[in-house]
């Protein structure tokens, strides 16, 4: 895939349904978050859920390069560290879109076919697991994949803000650039995780509470 692969992975136009996700911004706004607090939300996500998801994606990428491919340990560890049902459901829904793309690009690739056995009895492969499989298909490095996951977290919130808390679009660029030190730290922390048992449980309690409230709302723009 060459140099285009990591760029494709980080492209917000990737057709995997991510436009339906706000990375927790819509629930936060419903709970009273204002536009001036978005940079703080970005930092909080980068220090918690982004580390866990990037680490899980990297672990899945490593698993995808083994023979046989076995995602079950990563899937189970990540599910255990995603205790709120609506967040697990959103991750599984997004994972389905990533899996569909991976199948289209490389239908017979072992990293892709192994996703069919990665699900737990009641849960499809979660998004970071499928991103690891897609990373194997695209032949990206662990660092490129981790940065892709972290960057996607930033851009998802920044893009959703244009719909939920409209303002100068240039602000979103400034937010992402200002978050670079925290993003780099998140990538370093993710790459340091060696086994599923070491996967950090960096959940954000307010985000989880807001996700539960969001799931009960009848009118909403995003899954979560």
Number of domains in the chain: 1
Mean pLDDT, residues 25-41 taken together: 95
Is residue 120 pLDDT above 70, yes or no?
A: no
Give pLDDT tens digits for 160-193.
999 999 999 999 999 999 999 999 999 999 999 9
Q: Is residue 12 part of a domain?
A: no
Average pLDDT in the chain: 93
CB 23 within 8 A of CB 214: no
Give pLDDT tens digits for 37-84.
999 999 999 999 999 999 999 999 999 999 999 999 999 999 999 989
Q: Is residue 181 part of a domain?
A: yes
Q: Is residue 183 part of a domain?
A: yes
> What is the spatial distance between Cα 76 and Cα 195, in angstroms, rounded to a whole number?
12
The number of CA neighbours under 13 Å toward the Cβ of 109 is 24
Q: Is residue 165 part of a domain?
A: yes
- Quote the pTM value: 0.94
> What is the spatial distance between Cα 24 and Cα 80, in angstroms, rounded to a whole number?
19
Q: Is residue 4 part of a domain?
A: no
Range of the domain at 110: 20-215
Q: pLDDT band at residue 1, thresholds of 50, 70 and 90?
A: low
> What is the spatial distance between Cα 18 and Cα 11, in angstroms, rounded to a whole number?
11
Q: Is residue 107 part of a domain?
A: yes
Q: Is residue 1 part of a domain?
A: no
């Amino acid at each position: 895939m060459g140099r285009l692969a990591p760029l494709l992975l980080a492209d917000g136009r990737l057709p995997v349904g991510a436009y339906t996700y706000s990375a927790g911004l819509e629930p936060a706004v419903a709970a009273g978050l204002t536009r001036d607090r978005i940079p703080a939300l970005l930092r909080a996500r980068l220090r918690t859920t982004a580390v866990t998801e990037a680490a899980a994606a990297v672990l899945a990428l490593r698993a995808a390069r083994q023979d046989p491919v076995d995602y079950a340990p990563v899937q189970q560890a990540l599910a255990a560290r995603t205790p709120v049902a609506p967040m697990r459901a959103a991750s599984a829904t997004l994972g389905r879109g990533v899996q569909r793309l991976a199948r289209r690009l490389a239908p017979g690739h072992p990293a892709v076919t192994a996703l069919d056995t990665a699900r737990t009895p009641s849960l499809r492969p979660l998004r970071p697991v499928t991103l690891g499989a897609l990373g194997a298909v695209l032949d990206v490095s662990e660092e490129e994949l981790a940065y892709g996951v972290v960057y996607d977290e930033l851009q998802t919130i920044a893009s959703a803000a244009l719909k939920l808390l409209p303002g100068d679009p240039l602000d979103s660029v400034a937010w992402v650039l200002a978050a670079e030190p925290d993003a780099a730290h998140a990538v370093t922390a993710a790459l340091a995780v060696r086994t599923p048992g070491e996967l950090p449980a960096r959940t954000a309690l307010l985000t989880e509470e807001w996700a539960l409230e969001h799931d009960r709302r009848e009118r909403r723009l995003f899954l979560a």
